[in-house]
Amino acid sequence: MEYRIPLIAGNWKMFKTGNEAVDAATQLVKLVSDIENVDIVIAPPYTSLAVVSEVIRDTRIDLSAQDLYWEKEGAYTGQISASMLISAGCQYVIIGHSERRQLFGETNDTVNNKIKAASASGLIPILCVGETETQRDEKKTFSVLDKQMEKGLEGLTLDEHHSLVIAYEPVWAIGTGKSATPDQVQEVHAFLRDLVEKRFGNMLAKATRILYGGSVKPDNVSELMTLPDVDGALVGGASLQPDSFSKIIHF
């Protein structure tokens, strides 16, 4: 029987100074010390990565960045490379979050460059895909997701040393308190797994974790986690408080 270790990731977005991030991570370490069968990831802002990595050293909690730039180094003011993230303690990097796509000009092409750079460096990319409300209303959900996956993963080669995490985040459910229904989530996740299988084969499709994101809270996480193709959650707002994030991790 196939088994994927659940993964619960917290995206702290542009919240918390260094001290606040250290405090939250310190509390979280205590709250999840009993957890054995869930992988936990937190994604603080760049400025807190190195200090948080010290706090979570030798715990079950891994570190993620919220973005990266694909070049190795160079005159790219304001950008951060994969090797910089690794030296700050990261194992994961979120790529193509809808806020980056909507507010900062991220396209499927830039997502693709970032995915390839992350994967080549040994970081595990968390590729975010998702449709807007208008796209869902116009019945374009599956074509939008297909394109985001097709273009985002184009030219990527994965072997047994590389993994990939996909996060399905319907844009209309992010930060709105309006979570997608279990039926909507399962339908999309099965579709996404199928796309992974077509591109990378059955073994990888079975091993790839597909997270749901969009208003995940302590009171809706358990139902989502019962769905066969939901392997975890990417949590925004509810990951900022160690208490509520810990409840989600204890789904």
- Contact footprint for ligand PGA (CB under 6 A): 11, 169, 174-175, 213-216, 234-238
CB of 76 to ligand PGA, least distance (A): 25
3-state DSSP assignment of residue 42: strand
DSSP 12: -
Cα separation, 251 vs 245, whole angstroms: 10
As a whole number of angstroms, the distance between CA 245 and CA 192 comes to 26
Question: Which residue of the set 97, 99, 131, 189 is catalytic?
Answer: 97
Shortest distance, CB of residue 1 to ligand PGA, whole angstroms?
30
Residue whose beta carbon is closest to ligand PGA: 236
**Between residues 89 and 130, which has the closer beta carbon with respect to ligand PGA?**
130
Burial of 162 (0-12, 13-18, 19+ CB in 10 A): middle
Nearer to ligand PGA, 43 or 80 (CB): 43
Q: Taking the complex as a whole, how short is the minimal distance between the CB of residue 108 and ligand PGA, in angstroms? A: 18
166 versus 216: smaller Cβ distance to ligand PGA: 216
Residue 169 appears among annotated catalytic residues = yes
DSSP secondary structure string for all residues of 58-120: TSSEEEEES--BSSSSSS-TT--BHHHHHHTT-SEEEES-HHHHHHS---HHHHHHHHHHHHH
* CA distances, 46 to each of 15, 17, 52, 223 (Å): 11, 10, 10, 32
Nearer residue to ligand PGA within complex by CB, 29 or 173: 173
Least distance in angstroms from the C-beta of 235 to ligand PGA: 5
Q: Which of 2, 169, 197, 223 is catalytic?
A: 169
User: Mapping DSSP to helix (H, G, I), strand (E, B) and coil, where does residue 137 land?
Assistant: helix
| Closer of 105 and 155 to ligand PGA (Cβ) | 105
E strand or H helix at 185: helix 182-200
Supply the minimum distance, in Å, between the C-beta of residue 211 and ligand PGA: 9
Instruction: Give the residue among 177, 236, 178 at the shortest CA–CA distance from 14.
Output: 236
Tokens of 148: 């985001």
The set of catalytic residues is 97, 169
